[in-house]
């Protein structure tokens, strides 16, 4: 008899499993559910590779391949990459030559603004969370609740004073203005999340290090910070997803040079009075989805472990 | 932060004299800062005065920081930068709009007049304005209940599906998370396509089944269902992620012990699993309720408030942005904030009480 797991067991058909494991049967069920859940996204991606004239066809074209005859021909379209090209350069006026749309710049803006503000919020928020957790001030809970309150009002209420303030000091339409604003809006979430991570850490090791003569800064850097890496990753992803797609502030506070993709996307698909340009919208969204999708995918393990660690274990 | 205090540093220094030119003399810095700022604001144009006030604020901040560091107030030192950013970008504008709510002010006019509680009385009791507000508020309450319930149920069920480790789990999980990453502009616009009576997929399928022309959004129930479905689809993954985090944190030996004792699945869930996810369910509920109160973008994209789907947040955008009634909008939003704060506190109180009991 061969020892060790058989080929069947290696690919998942295990005879006896731990209580927290399931086999390919579960994979099949979940794959079905996940695909149905993913369908609206898949449709957007397929629209991005659809010829423009088929965007509003009846019946709707659903697939770039007939899957070996499984899907009837009237639902099938021939894929094209044209739409991705027209995101960056297309004919704007009838009969004219293709013009650059500036979307390369908008993608660059989105990446810079989202990354810098989320990282800045992460640095400031982590320091503050450490302070709230380790050196409680008088009225600590009150401060924390006020910080949460900043997330409760609709953005429109804050926006009018912010517009007036930015205009008065010349921050309107600049990178620093929108980055500072996004930093502030990420801070509330970052502080709440990171504080719960620091609260979970055992202070025994820290106290031991202090007795051995480590400075406060060293305790933070060498002992606390390495233990909350997962939490940092989770907070980064949540913050990135929210900042990446923010629309209202970007609409009102960015200029032509600092415009982000959601704003530009809204303008690109509804300009010219010809109604929505479906394939263009889908192409922009598909390209726009890729960076945040990849970041989430690669930080996924941290995301699960991180959230767990921060909020559950007491 | 690179300088580190040594163990021999005195723990309690005396404060410097008021006029001493010491880096930690925050009292002198504060008086100087306020005086210079006031003079600059009064005498110079706003664009110049701003930077002077900023420099003075930095001076005072440095004095406070040095003082805190020398006297070991680490808590204040760590929290201060974050509070400073939050204050300038969030709390100061919030207080500004709170102030505006006591004036009659329109952002397209120069005049400004103090009216005390006039705006609040108007938005709460005026025959026309208040009726609209209360109606939008009732609609919002309905959306909060429906979307949050849908998200909690769907998110919870999805999390249960992903709770165990199985082959390809990582790749299937990211598929379910994707709706959350879409820009609401794109997903909202595409939902108008899915629901479209002529071209849409939903109508195509329904026409095939039922015959005739199927129009989802032509009555209130359909419009509400359409919005709730789109919102729940986008944000259930958020709930799922939090619940899933709770589920994977349950120690496996508890399940193993339960399996040996032949505990029923129902009992196993309530006695082992539920205590681990309760906190996260509550957190998800808190964040989603706060967000649901702000529901506006999907309503704008899908119905433009038609078919009686106006929410308070969209109503607010109309009043404050399209009709330029800045101070009236501020008054509405503070009434709304008051309600959310009451709700949140009630909720935090209940959550804490449950925690203490267990």
Q: Are A60 and A153 in the same domain?
A: no
pLDDT at A197 over 70: yes
Chain B residues 173-202 within an 8 A CB cutoff of chain A? 173-187, 189-191, 193-194, 198-201
Same domain, A117 and A56: no
The CATH 1.10.3720.10 domain(s) of chain B lie at 121-357
Tokens of B104: 């009659």
Residue A10 scores a pLDDT above 70? no
Is A215 among the domain residues? yes
A117 shares a domain with A64: no
User: Do residues A190 and A117 both lie within one domain?
Assistant: yes
pLDDT in tens, B320-331: 877 888 888 888
Distance from CA of B235 to the nearest CA of A (A): 12
Stretch A239-266: mean pLDDT: 88
Q: How confident is the model at residue A63 (pLDDT cuts 50, 70, 90)?
A: confident
Nearest to A226 by CA among A193, A199, A201: A201
Ranked by mean pLDDT, the top range of A117-126, B57-66, B269-278 is A117-126
> Would you call A217 and B341 a contact, using CB atoms and an 8 Å cutoff?
no
In-domain check, residue A16: no
- In this structure, the answer to whether residues A202 and A142 fall within a common structural domain is yes
Per-residue pLDDT reduced to its tens digit, B26-38: 778 888 888 888 8
Flag whether A168 is in a domain: yes
pLDDT digits (tens, 9 = 90+) for A125-183: 999 999 988 888 887 888 888 888 887 777 777 887 888 888 877 788 889 889 999 99
- Please report the number of interchain residue pairs, chain A to chain B, with beta-carbon separation below 8 angstroms: 299
Nearest to A293 among B4, B79, B181 (CB): B181
Model pLDDT, residue A1: 44
| φ and ψ at residue B112, rounded to 5 degrees | -145, 135
The beta-carbon neighbor of B86 closest among A150, A160, A278 is: A150
A227, part of any domain:
yes
Angle between helices B46-70 and B26-43 (to 10 degrees): 180
Confidence (pLDDT) at A306 = 53
Q: Under an 8 A CB cutoff, do B86 and A27 touch?
A: no
The whole-angstrom separation of Cα B242 and Cα B236 is 10
A130/A66 same-domain check = no
**pLDDT bracket for residue B230 (50, 70, 90):** very high
Q: Report yes or no on A95 lying in a domain.
A: no
Mean pLDDT of A214-227: 84
Query: A159 in a domain, yes or no?
Result: yes
Q: DSSP letter at B14? A: P
Residues B175, A286: contact at Cβ < 8 Å? Answer: no
Do A108 and A75 share a structural domain?
no
Token pair belonging to A133: 């957790």
Q: Return the ∠ at Cα B323 (arms to B317 and B325), rounded to 5°.
A: 85
Does one domain contain both A118 and A51? Answer: no
Side-chain-side CA neighbours of residue B294 (13 Å): 15
CB atoms within 10 A of CB A144: 17
Chain B (137-156) residues lying within 8 Å, Cβ to Cβ, of chain A:
none
Please state which of the ranges A51-60, B115-124, B286-295 shows the lowest mean pLDDT: A51-60
Distance CA A224, CA A178 (A): 31
Question: Among A24, A125, A154, whose Cβ lies nearest the Cβ of B294?
Answer: A154
Tell me, yes or no, whether A145 and A54 share the same domain.
Answer: no
Closest among A196, A200, A218, A199 to A209, alpha carbons compared: A218
Q: Do B255 and A217 touch (CB under 8 A)?
A: no
pLDDT band for A307, please (50, 70, 90 cuts): low
Cis peptide before A59 (omega within 30 of 0): yes
Nearest to A160 among B4, B97, B242 (CB): B97
What's the CATH code of the domain at A183? 1.10.3720.10
CATH number of B121-357: 1.10.3720.10
Q: Name which of A38, A136, A185 is nearest B175 (Cβ-Cβ).
A: A38
Give yes or no: residues A158 and A271 share one domain.
yes
Is it the case that residue A304 has pLDDT exceeding 50? Answer: yes
Q: What is the mean pLDDT of chain B?
A: 81
Query: Which chain B residues are within 8 Å of A128, Cβ to Cβ?
Result: 78-79, 81-83
Of the candidates B36, B159, B227, the one whose C-alpha atom is nearest the C-alpha of residue A308 is B159
Tell me: do A272 and A134 sit in the same domain: yes
Chain B interface mutation, best of A154, A172, A191, highest count of B Cβ atoms under 10 Å: A154
Rounded to an integer, the average pLDDT of A241-263 is: 88
Please write the tens of the pLDDT for every residue from B146-189. Answer: 999 999 999 999 998 888 888 888 889 999 999 999 998 889 88
Interface check for B346 against chain A (CB to CB < 8 A): the answer is no
Contact across the interface for B162 and A30, Cβ inside 8 Å: yes
pLDDT at residue A271 tops 70: no
Which residues 301-320 on chain B approach chain A with CB closer than 8 angstroms? 313, 316-317, 320
Q: What gap in Å lies between CA A212 and CA A208, rounded to an integer?
A: 6
Distance in Å, alpha carbon of B29 to nearest chain A alpha carbon: 23
Cβ A41–B174 below 8 Å, yes or no?
no
Q: Which one has a higher pLDDT value, B249 or A183?
A: A183
**Is residue A6 one of the residues assigned to a domain?**
no
Domain span at A294: 103-311
E strand or H helix that includes residue A45: helix A24-48
CB B164 within 8 A of CB A21: yes
A128, part of any domain = yes
Residues 6+ apart with CB under 8 A from B304: none
């Amino acid at each position: 008899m061969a020892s060790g797991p058989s080929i069947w067991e290696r690919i998942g058909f295990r005879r006896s499993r731990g209580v927290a494991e399931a086999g390919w049967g579960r994979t099949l069920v979940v794959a079905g559910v996940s695909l149905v859940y993913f369908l609206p996204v898949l449709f957007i991606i397929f629209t991005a590779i659809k010829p423009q004239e088929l965007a509003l066809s009846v019946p709707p074209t659903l697939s770039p391949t007939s899957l070996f005859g499984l899907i009837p021909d009237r639902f099938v379209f021939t894929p094209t990459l044209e739409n991705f090209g027209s995101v960056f350069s297309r004919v704007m006026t009838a009969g004219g030559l293709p013009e650059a749309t500036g979307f390369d710049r908008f993608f660059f803006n989105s990446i810079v603004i989202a990354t810098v503000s989320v990282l800045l919020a992460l640095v400031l928020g982590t320091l503050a969370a450490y302070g709230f957790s380790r050196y409680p001030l008088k009225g600590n809970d009150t401060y924390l609740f006020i910080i949460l309150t900043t997330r409760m009002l609709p953005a429109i209420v804050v926006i009018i004073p912010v517009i007036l303030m930015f205009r008065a000091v010349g921050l309107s339409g600049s990178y620093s203005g929108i980055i500072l604003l996004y930093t502030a809006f990420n801070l509330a979430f970052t502080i709440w999340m990171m504080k719960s991570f620091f609260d979970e850490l055992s202070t025994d090791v820290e106290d031991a290090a202090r007795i051995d003569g480590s400075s406060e800064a060293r305790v933070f850097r060498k002992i606390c910070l390495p233990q909350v890496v997962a939490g940092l990753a989770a907070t980064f992803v949540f913050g990135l997803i929210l900042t990446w797609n923010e629309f209202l502030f970007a609409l009102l506070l960015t200029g032509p040079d600092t415009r982000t993709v959601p704003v530009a996307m809204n303008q690109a698909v509804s300009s010219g009075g010809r109604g929505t340009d479906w394939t263009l919208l889908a192409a922009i969204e598909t390209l726009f989805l890729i960076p945040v999708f990849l970041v989430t995918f690669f930080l996924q393990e941290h995301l699960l472990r991180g959230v767990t660690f921060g909020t559950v274990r007491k | 932060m690179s300088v580190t205090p040594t163990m021999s540093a005195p723990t309690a220094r005396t404060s410097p004299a008021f006029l001493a030119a010491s880096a930690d003399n925050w009292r002198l810095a504060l008086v100087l800062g306020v005086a210079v700022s006031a003079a600059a604001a009064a005498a110079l144009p706003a664009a110049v005065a701003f930077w002077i006030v900023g420099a003075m604020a930095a001076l005072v901040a440095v004095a406070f920081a040095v003082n805190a560091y020398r006297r070991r107030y680490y808590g204040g030192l760590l929290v201060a930068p974050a509070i400073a950013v939050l204050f300038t970008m969030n709390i100061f504008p919030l207080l500004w709009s709170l102030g505006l709510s006591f004036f009659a002010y329109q952002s397209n006019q120069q005049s400004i007049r103090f009216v005390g509680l006039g705006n609040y009385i108007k938005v709460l009791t005026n025959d026309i304005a208040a009726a609209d507000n209360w109606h939008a508020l009732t609609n919002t309450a309905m959306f909060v209940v429906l979307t949050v319930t849908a998200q909690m149920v769907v998110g919870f069920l999805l999390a249960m599906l992903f709770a165990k480790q199985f082959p390809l789990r990582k790749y299937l999980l990211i598929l379910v998370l994707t709706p959350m990453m879409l820009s609401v502009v794109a997903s909202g616009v595409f939902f108008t396509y899915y629901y479209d009576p002529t071209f849409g997929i939903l109508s195509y399928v329904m026409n095939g089944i039922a015959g005739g022309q199927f129009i989802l959004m032509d009555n209130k129930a359909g419009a509400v269902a359409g919005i709730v479905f789109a919102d729940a689809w986008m944000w259930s993954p958020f709930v799922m992620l939090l619940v899933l985090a709770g589920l994977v944190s349950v120690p496996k030996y508890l399940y193993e012990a339960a399996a040996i004792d032949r505990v029923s699945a129902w009992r196993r869930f309530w006695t082992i699993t539920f205590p681990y996810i309760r906190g996260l369910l509550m957190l998800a509920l808190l964040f989603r309720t706060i967000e649901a109160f702000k529901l506006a973008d999907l309503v704008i994209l899908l119905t433009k408030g038609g078919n009686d789907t106006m929410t308070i947040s969209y109503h607010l955008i109309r009043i404050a942005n399209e009709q330029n009634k800045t101070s009236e909008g501020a008054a509405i939003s503070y009434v709304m904030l008051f309600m959310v704060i009451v709700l949140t506190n009630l909720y935090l109180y209940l959550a804490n009480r449950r925690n203490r009991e267990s």
